[in-house]
Amino acid sequence: MSAVDELGVTAAAPYGPALHGVAGGELTIGGIPAGLLAERAGGTPFFAYDRALIAARVAEVRAALPGAVELSYAVKANPMPAVLHCLSTLVDGLDVASAGEMLAALDTGVPPARIAFAGPGKTAAELRQAVAAGVLVELESATELARLAKAGEELGVRPRAALRINPPFAVRGSGMKMGGGPQQFGVDSEQAPALLAELGCTGVEFEGFHVFAGSQNLDADSIRAAQRATVELLAELAGHAPAPVRYLNLGGGFGIPYSARDRPLALGPIGENLAELLDTVVRDRLPLARPVIELGRYLVGEAGVYLTRVVDRKESRGTVYLVVDGGLHHQLAATGNLGRALRRNYPLALAGQVDAGPDGDEVVDVVGCLCTPLDLLGKAVSLPRAEPGDLIAVFQAGAYGLTASPVAFLGHPAPRELLV
């Protein structure tokens, strides 16, 4: 989906209307005009996810990565049941980070052997559920190991485990760092040998390792360097493991562009690097390992659009405000309040009139309906003149949208979600 010019520079991503489609000047999603989708949804605001774009994205990743690499979907990016079911038919496994996500993943029919359960603070009760279900538990601490072993003894079922490692390095360029230095995630690599020895004395079955050190990365070189360092580290730790490494989860962290300044991630170099690693370190030192890449945002983020209707148009001391019926209670990330150092507008458009109007565009602020200045969807956005009743589309909304937003804040209704 990314165009590369002669200099090998990836061009700005075709997101928004260029990615989704336009018919008669109106935005389409999954080939359906936005206005008609709003009628189908029974009103605004709502999220629409395009299943063809999700499938195309999975195909693109598969084409770029070596065939031996398994692709896993991180459910927390978008757990809508229909989206989850759609992805469950396209990927090799599901990554869950709570017992609730685990149950949703099991509901899709994906075999428990293909579900991995990560995340800090797993309680004895949750681990018991995981053991009963037969999913792979990615251990984040010594406490979790003790709880897991106990659950296995009580249930008479052998628990399956991988050790999540906090590497000694951070991944450059990650929007969110989850590895390197002190972390609440995983076990520090220097503590791993002792814990592996301990694991060997329990009834827990050791299957391998998991490293997930960062998210939202657009720099292929950083991802390559991290994958290389990760494979080297895990090959080293494999020498301390009580059994051969069969599961080798190298994380992911592939990012998507959220503004015109962001360049799309180049998958090609990542695939080449992985192929090289499989042919050398993995083949020589981890011969039984099946490598896994786990992706959330990259698979679903661009497939989703948040649609909200203008309810008021007002002017205050020279600034035009479009007040919409949605806001940060549904799409927190677009307002810059979900872990962004610098607030930048998500791409957005007037859905009914994607190109400039007859009188050109005007510069407006698009704000949500919550009574807080944080509810800012677009600052100084250039749009055709919009009136109450018009639909605004906020793009790149398929990941970390509804379930990563404070839906109860201010007591407005929850949005619908459609998979089209």
Closest residue to bound ligand PLP by CB: 296
What backbone torsions phi and psi does residue 41 show, to the nearest 5 degrees?
A: -70, -20
247-252/290-295 β-pairing: parallel
Q: Which is nearer to ligand PLP, 247 or 369 (CB)?
A: 247
The minimum distance between CB 178 and ligand PLP, in angstroms, equals 7
Q: Which is nearer to ligand PLP, 212 or 322 (CB)?
A: 212
Q: How far is CA 141 from CA 210, 247, 369, in A?
A: 13, 18, 43
Beta strand extents in 80-201 (DSSP E only):
93-96, 115-117, 136-139, 160-166, 174-177, 187-188
Rg of the chain over Cα atoms, rounded to whole angstroms, equals 23
The minimum distance between CB 354 and ligand PLP, in angstroms, equals 28
Q: Which is nearer to ligand PLP, 171 or 349 (CB)?
A: 171
Q: Which is nearer to ligand PLP, 294 or 325 (CB)?
A: 294
* Three-class SS state of 119: coil
* CB 169 within 8 Å of CB 215: no
Q: Which is nearer to ligand PLP, 71 or 310 (CB)?
A: 71
The minimum distance between CB 218 and ligand PLP, in angstroms, equals 11
Q: Which is nearer to ligand PLP, 71 or 278 (CB)?
A: 71
The minimum distance between CB 222 and ligand PLP, in angstroms, equals 14
The minimum distance between CB 360 and ligand PLP, in angstroms, equals 38
The minimum distance between CB 268 and ligand PLP, in angstroms, equals 19
Cα separation, 353 vs 27, whole angstroms: 7
Structure tokens at 249: 């989860």
| Interacting residues toward ligand PLP by CB under 6 A | 74, 76-77, 95, 97, 118, 212, 215-216, 252-253, 294-298, 399
Q: Which is nearer to ligand PLP, 98 or 129 (CB)?
A: 98
Structure tokens at 241: 């493991």
The minimum distance between CB 417 and ligand PLP, in angstroms, equals 18
Cα separation, 182 vs 151, whole angstroms: 28
Residue matched to tokens 């999700």? 54
What kind and span of H or E run contains 417? strand 416-419
Structure tokens at 169: 């390095």
Classify burial at 386, counting beta carbons within 10 Å of its beta carbon; exposed 0-12, middle 13-18, buried 19 or more. Answer: buried
